[in-house]
Amino acid sequence: MLVSDDIQALSRAVSGPVALPDSPEFAAETFAFNAATVHRPDVVLGAETAQDVAAGVKWAAERRLPVAVQSTGHGADSAVDGGLLISTRRLQELQIDPVERTARVGAGVKWRTVLEASLPFGLVGLHGSSTDVGVVGYTVGGGLPILGRAHGFAADHVRSMEVVTADGALRRIDAGAEAELFALMCGSKGNLGIVTELEFSLFPLGEFYGGGIIYPGADAALILAAFRDWLPSLPDDASPSISLLRLPEMDFVPEPLRGQFVVHLRFAFLGSSEEGDSLLAPMRAVSRPLMDTAGPMSYLDVDQIHMDPSDPLPFMDGGALLKDLGEETVADLLELAGEGSDCPLLLVEIRPLGGALARAALSRAGELPNAVSGRDAAFLLFVLGFNMPPVAEAVAAFVRGILAAMAPHSTGFTLVNFHGVPGDEADRARAWSPAVYERMRAAKSSYDPGNLLRFGHTITGVPSVT
């Protein structure tokens, strides 16, 4: 049990604010973008520097308190109960090197901030469907980019990082310094340390074509079949996805679409308007679109492709990696989530993988593969619904039901950023290949033998032999 002397010791060791549950700033310091997740730590530290993070971890380790970390809370699938929560949202350092084509960011920086700083140099980073997401949490979970088929996972292109391990040590690591720790931090979702700073590659941006086509949900079977047949014709520079949407009567939904069941094709392409139109022509001929926004696009408008909500919402999600999108796979999916079903989910999404996403990534030393798994899968299935009354119970049941129904079509694995609420040890292990999982367990035993970092999607180390 923490006493006044413990809290005073933490406050003296750090420059950032320290808040207790009865402090007026506690709610703001613990608030997550996933508003369904309410954190209840014993104490929260608003770190202002990497040294604050190190001091906080050391303080907790001395008292055998578990430690959690959060920046934006987009990935807050499970609540922190007790222990120390370190908020890194104040770590806003940002440097763009246009010559080396790299960015260096603090743990609180969002992708939108990076984009606004890099685009004047004609460079972009490998962000996902929303640029409101924090760079670090997204990347250490692997990071599935909107341009992933062209460039691979975001974690594949990390150059170096600054990380605080469970002993409170602040380490700068890369492919040459603590190479195994560095490789595993790229995709391990924070199991082995807290990242305070990240350096990663940027990519040249030429012409960009993006947007989406929205179809009537009644034509879902026709559209998914056409989507499957269309995919082999696409180059790696094209990254599409498709989703079944049950759109609520909410402000973030365009007014003509509110309350409707629709199919949403998303499309991002590194190429000209003429090439983009040519590639999309077969899908424009399918059904009768309700809306078509695809065309030449300013990259600053890239969030309009997926149209993810920008305001915090209470949600529950889950995911699986699929082997195929064959007729049986589509039929099983539409039976639960198609027109006429009682599916309460906001989104049932399919993202094709392949291209650069399928190629194993080595560290810059060229020896150690990183922790990102699932490269052998053909598709990612991701489902999401509102986690609030009166639909929360039905949403939870449908998340479980769809994933169970799709299990025969799955590889048996997930991507950690799309896994959803982590279950038992066997369930958590599904986010990595067996080989990577065993490497992570060995590293966990070395860098965090006391399992200090045990909130969220964490694993345990290899038991010691006595």
* Cα distance between residue 442 and residue 183, in whole Å: 13
My answer on whether 148 and 273 are in the same domain is no
My answer on whether 161 and 24 are in the same domain is no
Judged by DSSP in three states, 267 sits in: strand
First-residue to last-residue Cα distance in the chain = 30
* Cα distance between residue 248 and residue 233, in whole Å: 34
Identify the residue whose tokens are 């490269």: 375
Nearest 10 degrees: CA dihedral of 204, 129, 360, 460?
130
- 61 alpha-carbon distance from chain centroid: 28
For residue 97, what is the enclosing H or E element?
A: strand 94-97
For residue 150, what is the enclosing H or E element?
A: helix 148-151
* Structure tokens that stand for 183 in this block: 């490789």
* Structure tokens that stand for 323 in this block: 């082997």
Omega within 30 of 0 (cis) for the link into 66: no
Q: Is residue 462 part of a domain?
A: no
Q: What is the pLDDT of residue 464?
A: 60
The burial of 312, by beta-carbon neighbours within 10 Å (0-12 exposed, 13-18 middle, 19 or more buried), is given as: middle
Q: What is the pLDDT of residue 249?
A: 82
Domain boundary among 204, 219, 242: 204
Q: What is the pLDDT of residue 1?
A: 73
How far is it between the farthest Cα atoms of the chain? Answer: 70
My answer on whether 189 and 253 are in the same domain is no
Domain boundary among 204, 229, 258: 204
Domain that holds residue 18: 4-87
Q: What is the pLDDT of residue 364?
A: 47
My answer on whether 200 and 213 are in the same domain is no
- Cβ atoms of 47 and 14 within 8 Å: the answer is yes
Digits of tens for pLDDT over the chain (466 positions)?
A: 788 999 999 999 999 999 999 999 999 999 999 999 999 999 999 999 999 999 999 999 999 999 999 999 998 999 999 999 999 999 999 999 999 999 999 999 999 999 999 999 999 999 999 999 999 999 999 999 999 999 999 999 999 999 999 999 999 999 999 999 999 999 999 899 999 999 999 999 999 999 999 999 999 999 999 999 999 999 999 999 999 999 888 777 777 788 899 999 999 999 999 999 999 999 999 999 999 999 999 999 999 999 998 899 999 999 999 999 999 999 999 999 999 999 999 999 999 999 999 987 654 445 689 999 999 999 999 999 999 999 999 999 999 999 999 999 999 999 999 999 999 999 999 999 999 999 999 999 999 999 999 999 999 988 764 4
pTM of the model: 0.95
Domain boundary among 87, 110, 129: 87
My answer on whether 82 and 100 are in the same domain is no
The burial of 151, by beta-carbon neighbours within 10 Å (0-12 exposed, 13-18 middle, 19 or more buried), is given as: buried
Please compute, for residue 261, the number of CA atoms within 13 A of its CA located in the half-sphere on the CB side: 15
Q: What is the pLDDT of residue 366?
A: 56
- Neighbouring residues of 120: CB distance < 8 A, sequence distance ≥ 6: none
Count of structural domains within the chain: 3
Q: What is the pLDDT of residue 253?
A: 77
* Cα distance between residue 380 and residue 350, in whole Å: 6
The burial of 418, by beta-carbon neighbours within 10 Å (0-12 exposed, 13-18 middle, 19 or more buried), is given as: buried
What DSSP character marks residue 465? P
* DSSP letters spanning 433-456: -HHHHHHHHHHHHHH-TT----SS
My answer on whether 24 and 41 are in the same domain is yes
- 10 alpha-carbon distance from chain centroid: 31
Domain containing residue 362: CATH number: 3.40.462.20
My answer on whether 25 and 139 are in the same domain is no
Q: Is residue 385 part of a domain?
A: yes
* Cα distance between residue 201 and residue 230, in whole Å: 31
Q: What is the pLDDT of residue 257?
A: 80
- 126 alpha-carbon distance from chain centroid: 12
* Cα distance between residue 10 and residue 8, in whole Å: 5
Closest CA to 301 of 240, 210, 238: 210
- Residue 357 dihedral angles phi and psi, to the nearest 5°: -65, -25
